Amino acid sequence: MREPWKSGEANPREDRMVRWLLMLEAANHEAILEELEDIAMKEDPVLKEAFEKWDELSQDPNTMFAYEMRRKQVFDEHAKVREAEIRMQRAEAKALAEGTARGMDEGKAEIIRAMLRNNLKLEQISEITGLSVAEIESLDKTLRDK
């Protein structure tokens, strides 16, 4: 709600719902808090009552402790979700890289197999593929054993 408020798309003076949605962000944003307090004092007695209750609850150490514990729990949950997302992205990237490398290797092996079937010399295949003659011979043996 903060972005629509900043851009002027959402006006708490004109829309009661916007006021209450902004109230959720007011504790962490001074300008929102100031505007809502102004509206509460001049225009909206229900919002004023909510601010008074908020102030009252803020004075109680037990309530503040419970609030801080709940806030920490919410932040921890968000951090766990974000960490899981990052791990999933890394796993996907790794799997894609490994799959691509494996596909490239399989494609290269298929091309080498075709060159061997067409009786190209090992030296020519080595020059074309960048593999050593020993690697090609090993691949040829592996392919024949399958």
Size (the chain), residues: 146
- Within-domain flag for 95: no
If we measure between CA atoms, which residue out of 43, 34, 38, 1 comes closest to residue 11? 1
The reply to whether 77 falls in a domain is: no
Tokens of 34: 């100031």
Q: Is residue 92 part of a domain?
A: no
**Is the pLDDT reported for residue 108 higher than 90?**
no
Question: Is 100 among the domain residues?
Answer: no
Backbone angles phi, psi at 43, to 5 degrees: -130, -30
* Residue 28 counted as domain residue: yes
Boundaries of domain holding 2: 1-59
Do residues 32 and 22 make contact, with C-beta atoms less than 8 angstroms apart? yes
Cα separation, 16 vs 92, whole angstroms? 45
Does 107 map to a domain?
no
Average confidence score pLDDT of the chain: 88
**Residue 34 within a domain:** yes
Percent of the chain with pLDDT over 90: 35
Assigned domain for 94 exists = no
pLDDT-wise least confident of 23-32, 69-78, 98-107: 23-32
| pLDDT greater at residue 64 or residue 138 | 138
Task: Tell me how many domains the chain contains.
Answer: 1
Which of 86, 90, 84, 143 minimizes the C-alpha distance to 116?
143
- CA-CA distance, 142 to 37, in Å (whole number)? 78
Query: What is the pTM (predicted TM-score) of this model?
Result: 0.45
Total Cβ atoms within 10 A of residue 43: 13
